[in-house]
Structure 1
Amino acid sequence: MRLGIRMPRVACRTPIGFLEWNLRSKGSTCRRVLHMTSQRASGNSQQVPATWLRRVLEDDHKPPKLYAWTPDSISSGAARLKKTAGANSGDDERRRIHILGIGNMGRLYATCLAKLANRPPIALVVHRKELLEHWVSQPGIEFTRHGKVGKNTDFDIEWWTDEQPTQGPVTEPASGRGISNLVVATKASDAIPQVDRLRGYLDSNSTVAFTQNGMCKLWPPFGEQYVRARFPGATSPSWIACVTTHGVISLGPFRSIHASPADAWVGSVMMPKPKPENNTAGEGPSYLIEQIANAPDLAARRVSMKELWVAQLEKLVVNAVINPLTAVLDCKNGELFVERGDGLSEVIDRLLDEASRTLRALVRDPANDEIFAEPATKDRDGYALEHVARRLAQAHEELDRRFALPRLREMLLGVAAKVTENTSSMLQDVRAGKQTEINDFNGWLVETARYLDGDIRLPTHERLIALVKARTTLTREEICERLLA
């Protein structure tokens, strides 16, 4: 595949995509552009669906009915805990934020959102009954920041399961009325399966935020396919994502240290789609985005789709190099960048080069055009086609330079200098015998390359994935021999 800059194109892959909608009313010029686009699309690769999407599309079961277990469901002694869930007004329920997954990211977001001046009701959603029991005996999130230990018990807490409770209230999530605001703070591999499980409680009045490492799976090219399959018509929630650079260390259930305060970015991952005339949705994603952006100590800011997309891609490249190499070498991050004349720097360059070729091809995929065209300037007839074309050309040229090997190397070294003494999350997972996020980092790159162009090969990433999955530990010389073969 040629990696030069292509002429700007207009996306028409999605049925109601941003540019396609605008082109329908632009006359013969647009028909010519659409013809050029269809020629480009027909010459594309086999468009292999991602593994996660294929699994979703093959599952034709109806969404399950779930029950919301509370402390009352497991212990009569839970009566001493503060209850708020049943006493809130309808407005409070629309403001309520459910946080699914109470690991480090879930605790960080819950703690920061709870500090808002006009804080919304917050419900923690755990994934095991044992965690609900733990909360009953030791309620509260303990969060240590700058050496000061803080504890907050002012949360509702629930466990969502298909098993009906034998005592206490028998209710569904959000009382069966639909979840208004959901922050998904699970591991990356669990995010879409959990959302898919909850789809019966999500609709066009819902906003779902993802906080995972790696790329949000609902970005183009696969997001639209998932939404069309699971939320037909105009029933889809609004989808947003966060890029979080804070460092948080777990001390056990509901206990964390805010080891490296940093910042976060938040924004939409899909263009807003037209709603039916009888839709009652209020602010769409704006409410949850603003709550996250204003949360004290989170240092988050709202960004455009393009800024968020680029930030997630750059963070993914860093994770796809540092995490698996440290996991196989069993070393701190800084060891990777010490020159010992054994070829490890060449391994890093190969990983970066393969990532660079994939990202530069991704930039030129028509499915992503709506990301680069947002926001566009309007004329009296709507979005000016010429203006959109210029924005696309500028974005392609800018990102082709930004994702080139020298720039990615410079970015990686800049991040590495700040995390030299840190132990990567993947190495921590390996040491703890937990599942790693290798599929969501390096695996994402491999699947994306396969989707975009059958000629793009990522052999270094593929070998590294195999080493991590086999829980292999090697010396620097051994890993170089394996990966440079």
Structure 2
Amino acid sequence: MPPRQLQTLANDKWLTQIASHGSPPPRLYAWTAANLSGTGAHNREPRKDNDSRRIHMLGIGNIGRLFASNLASLPDRPPITLILRRPELLAKWYSINCQGIQIVRPGVDGSGNKTSSHKSAFDVECWCETPPPHGPIHHPFPVNKLIVTTKAASALPAVDRLRRYLAPDCAVVMVHNGVSPLWPPHGDEYLEQRYPNGGAPRFFSAVTSHALWSMGDFCSMHVAPGDSVMGPILPAGPNGDIEASSPCPETPSAGQGLMQQIKAAKGLQFRSVAWRELWLLQLDKLVVNTTINPLASVLRCKNGQLFENSHDSVIPLIMDRLLQETCHVIQALVSHPASCPMVGPDGVEPLNQRYTVCQMRDMVCDIGKRSAANTCSMLQDVQAGRLTEVSELNGWLLDTAARLGCMALPTHGALVDLVKGRVALSKEELARRLVLKEKAL
């Protein structure tokens, strides 16, 4: 009997829907500033853009603003198009008070904050299915280079929605929390469904450790600088085999060009990594995010407050419970046949040694202390009344554990419910909710 294939680990319902429905992608309209005015006749004359350096960006949250600001600061700046989803946001961008993309950096040694602003550096459009009621009517340009910085749940559906406008061999860089749903075997299944005749995008993923919090629609505070690590997903060799060990495999020109542009943006602290290393770095960040983010969200605290009291036994005990459950799932994942392409020639044992509570505790504490002043993205979402990524983080662990036949994850499960319920607790109340032993209090 063949090994049981690992079922889809993220966006399960959406990927299942793709397999059963071959619906064509929507035809989109590219709204510009000219469509916001109440005057102006329709104009269907096609636009032309032959600049191969152009970068399209989808998602202008904290990370999107950081990438956009740094790319706009390049001496030889490429043309950049910011893609918005709603006409209302386009109107805000072109309002008289909008300063464009702003990144605020805290001052050092008592000096004031430093703000970098970029507005004229960008072409800004809203791509939606509704034609504009007035002004010129245009459809999106073909996209050769796309950076996606939406929430994890929206990233792949957003790219799929744009596939009518993605040029053959377009380079797509996805920057989001959680584990990409395109790792084998699911990436191949997606490409077979959506691009049966070839011409599929070349997918890359980026993991970033920069810490930011939002100060408004287009403004973010860059609390703690980090780095950005990028690599290919499903890199194929000339014979279709996977080249997992090369940090810079042969890529179409759009992919190479985009990697060079991101690398030139010094503030992003970019480096490229091999395919296998990228998978492990996504798992590493998952460990951090599934520990710090839900705890900070429920306790309503900054990251550093989870680590500041060395005599407190409650938070460390909760963290160890979380890490025990997380490491159990990851060890089961790396041992599964579906993970063989990512594990590599050294086998499973080095990864089992990597994903231990002791090793992961040190990593979580180090990152938590370095981002001490930051309010994590999950808490920012809770405070703003937005949907959080807890389903794509801790929920991903729960789903993966169930599909792998692992033990239950009661601590993660309880935190998922608390975050979804937007419950705020003290550490003592949280400990009681998690049924920790009385002596820990």
Larger helix percent = 1
Report if the CA contact (8 A) 1:227-1:236 is conserved. yes
Deviations 1:331-362 (A, max 9, x none): 23233333566643222111101111111122
In 2, Cα distance between equivalents of 1:242 and 1:159:
25
Sort the Cα spacing of 1:53 and 1:285 in 2 relative to 1 into closer, same or farther, 3 A: farther
Matched, 1:304 2:274: yes
2:219 maps to 1:219? no
Residue in 1 aligned with 2:94?
Answer: 136
Cross-structure match for 2:415 = 464
Q: CA deviation at 1:77?
A: 9.3
Counterpart AA for 2:114: K
Evaluate the alpha carbon distance shift between residue 269 and residue 155 of structure 1 in structure 2; reply closer, same or farther with a 3 A threshold. Answer: same
Asked whether the equivalents of residues 251 and 257 of structure 1 are also in contact (C-alpha less than 8 Å), the reply is yes
Q: Say whether 1:360 aligns with 2:326.
A: no
Deviation at 1:442, TM superposition (A): 0.4
Q: Which residues of 2 match residues 33-432 of structure 1 at below 5 A?
A: 41-42=2-3, 44=4, 47-50=6-9, 52-59=11-18, 60=21, 61-75=23-37, 86=47, 88=49, 90=50, 92=51, 94-137=52-95, 138=98, 140-145=100-105, 147-152=113-118, 153-174=120-141, 178-202=142-166, 204-272=168-236, 282-283=252-253, 285-337=255-307, 338=309, 343-373=314-344, 392=345, 394-432=346-384
Which has the greater radius of gyration? 1
Q: One-letter code of the match for 1:251?
A: M
* Partner residue, 1:435: 387
Q: Secondary structure at the match of 1:439?
A: coil
Q: Specify the code of the residue in structure 2 equivalent to 1:230.
A: R
* Secondary structure class of the residue paired with 2:103: strand
Equivalent residues of 1:184, 1:209 under 8 A apart: yes
| Residues 440-470 of structure 1: per-residue CA shift (max 9 Å, x gap) | 110111122223x213422221121111111
TM-score by length of 2: 0.85
CA shift at 1:274, angstroms? 5.6
Unaligned runs of 5+ in 1: 1-38, 79-84, 374-391
RMSD: 2.6
Shift of 1:243: 1.0
How far residue 408 of structure 1 moved from its aligned partner, in angstroms, is: 0.8
Q: CA deviation at 1:108?
A: 1.0
CA deviations on 1:133-182 (whole Å, 9 max, x unpaired) are 122223632333453322222211100000112333322111xxx31111
Query: Alignment partner of 1:173: what SS?
Result: coil
Identity %: 40
Using the alignment, how far apart are the partners of 1:310 and 1:357 within structure 2? 15
Is this contact kept in 1: 2:10–2:179, CA < 8 A? no
Are 1:475 and 2:407 an aligned pair?
A: no
Partner SS for 1:95: coil
Displacement after TM superposition at 1:220 (Å): 2.9
Residue 214 of structure 1 contacts residue 441 of structure 1 at CA under 8 Å; is this kept in 2?
yes
Q: 1:387 aligns to what?
A: none
Does the 8 Å contact 2:224/2:374 carry over to 1? Answer: no
